Chain A
Amino acid sequence: MTRRLLAIVAVVVIGCGVVSLRPPSQLVAIFAAPQGAPAPALDVKLPLEQKSVRFAVIGDNGTGDTPQYEVAAEMEAYRKVVGYDFVTMMGDNIYGSHKPKDIERKFEAPYKPLLDAGVKFYACLGNHDDSNETLYKPFNMNGQHYYSFKKGDVQFFALDSNYMDAKQLDWLNNQLSGSTAKWKIAYFHHPLYSDGRFHGPDLDLRKQLMPIFEKYGMNVVMSGHDHVYERFKPEDGIYFFLVGNSGELRYHNLRQGSNIMAAGFDTDRTFMLVEISGDKLYFQTVSRTGQTVDSGVLQRQPKPAAPVQALQEVH
């Protein structure tokens, strides 16, 4: 128990310390970024190291409206420099109607430059999605509601938080117990932590998933659902991100004075860029107008030290 506590404290200190190395102005600017400001030249914060894993993250994007297209254009501009080759989707990939013309307007058209460049999208399902999106090849779900894939040293676990039944929990336990990946990243629609005032965290989901994540040493968890961007101080040694504003937006929806928030942005749409190299995860969150609203680097956590029985007591 003490070893585990020490490990958590070490992760918190390392995580907060490394992130706080960013110039203070960037962190202060998070809530102050003005809307409609002229787009600066691309300001890439990632190191672009050789053989690193690079990807983009979007969530709650499938509106088919102009802001989604503008975020997509910014993603393409960054792709040309960063060279990421896949995108993880946090769900609500297609809002409203799911007729073929909607798939075209809410996915294929906005991301056409990325799709044409060979960028792969790996979707999970949100509450606005249709189960049959799993059959749609560009979402790379292979007919499954939950699945896993590997990129270099990173294993991703795309979950269906709409329907976290015993079968899915068993699958997740089995997948994680057999995983030898250096980095483990889970993503799904409903956030375990959120300062969004409209929805907030799904506490019941947190109760089911956190013991599994802790037991197997999940490194990073990403979600959507609340239409804001938020990065959290490490919780139980795990880094959490919320990217739910790549199409939708709830303006000024973040709770102020939160003690779990490390950074937040709720005045425009965003997407996130991630680069993983060795034991470091670099991230950069970019707004629809091209401003970097958050960036930093996180150190991979030590493997969980506590025995399984002790972990069960957390909740």
Chain B
Amino acid sequence: MLRSQQQFEVFRNGILSLTLLLLSTFLIAAQQRVNANAAIAAKFEHKIADYMKLRQKALAGLAVPKNTESPEKIADFQKQLAGKIRDLRPQAKQGDLFTPEVAGLFQRLVATAMRGKDGALIRTSFQRAEPIQGEHLDVNATYPDGLPLQSMPPSLLLNLPRLPKELEYRFVGRELILHDTQASLIVDVIPDLRMPQTK
């Protein structure tokens, strides 16, 4: 009797230890994932800050037409700002800001948002906002004049790293672009951001 009770306690302690081991392994892995994501997001924010410094240089000497009645002045300002940014980053290429690991992070963030409770709302929001199809946009190119800008579902935006007000994320088909709004310039592109099916 005593022996069988001892056996039971050994068995029970074994199960408890195993459960605790599995749980802590899972928690450590989850924490590592969170830390890894935070580290990638921090790198991305650093690159955004670098771009903003470069943009500030491009703005030097340019008169921002605040409250002008002249559409010509606005068009000239946009063209000049875009030109100066291009001059300051002539070698810019896809992946400079959206590095492979940042693109991977965005893929995960979008997937998380789409698979969450708001996934169906986000998908419907996309469908009802005149999605843009069949366009490919190059880094440093001007956003095509006359092409609508796909609105971004708020629940998705709230899941992505914040940007300064001069920059926006926009979807163009399956591409996610980083758009400099005043320069109307494509800063970077994630070429194939798959939108997972919702539940």
Contacts and interface: CB of A to CB of B under 8 A. Distances in A.
B78 A132 contact: yes
A131 B74 contact: no
Nearest to B123: A204
B46 interface: no
Interface in B138-155: 145-146, 148-155
A127 B146 CA distance: 11
Given A127-B151, A161-B151, A208-B155, A97 B146 contact: yes
The SS class assigned to the B binding surface is loop
Contacts of B158: 165-166
Given A100-B72, A104-B71, A201 B184 contact: no
A100 B71 contact: yes
B128 interface: yes
A200 B128 contact: yes
B75 interface: yes
A17 interface: no
B128 A97 contact: no
A32 interface: no
B197 interface: no
B125 interface: yes
Interface stretch (A23-31, A33-41, A47-55, A134-142): A134-142
A207 B118 contact: yes
Interface string B139-183: 000000110111111111110001101001000000000000110
B74 A135 contact: yes
Contacts, number: 110
A132 B74 contact: yes
A161 B154 CA distance: 9
A170 to B, nearest CB: 11
B159 to A, nearest CB: 10
A99 interface: yes
Contacts of A129: 149
A7 B29 CA distance: 50
Contacts of A162: 149, 151-152
A199 interface: yes
Contacts of B155: 204, 207-208
Contacts of A163: 151-152, 157, 168
Nearest to B163: A165
B130 interface: yes
Contact of B121 (A137, A189, A190, A203): A203
Interface string A257-283: 000000000000000000000000000
Interface in B66-80: 66-72, 74-75, 77-78
A137 B157 contact: no
A99 B68 contact: no
A98 interface: yes
A199 B128 contact: yes
A307 B62 CA distance: 50
B74 A203 contact: no
Nearest to A205: B154
B121 A204 contact: yes
A190 B151 contact: yes
A202 B149 CA distance: 16
A204 B146 contact: no
B122 interface: yes
Residue of A103, A130, A166 most packed against chain B (CB within 10 A): A130
Interface of B: 64-72, 74-75, 77-78, 118, 121-122, 124-125, 128-130, 145-146, 148-158, 162-163, 165, 168, 181-182, 184
20 contacts: A97-B145, A97-B146, A99-B71, A131-B181, A135-B67, A135-B74, A137-B69, A142-B66, A162-B151, A165-B152, A165-B158, A167-B165, A190-B151, A199-B130, A202-B129, A202-B151, A203-B125, A205-B125, A205-B153, A208-B155
Given A98-B75, A104-B71, A163-B151, 18 more contacts: A97-B146, A98-B146, A127-B150, A132-B181, A132-B184, A143-B66, A161-B151, A162-B149, A163-B157, A164-B154, A165-B154, A165-B157, A190-B151, A200-B128, A202-B128, A202-B129, A204-B124, A204-B153
Q: Please give me the 6 A-B residue pairs with the lowest Cβ-Cβ distance, nearest first.
A: A131-B181, A204-B125, A100-B71, A164-B154, A103-B71, A204-B121
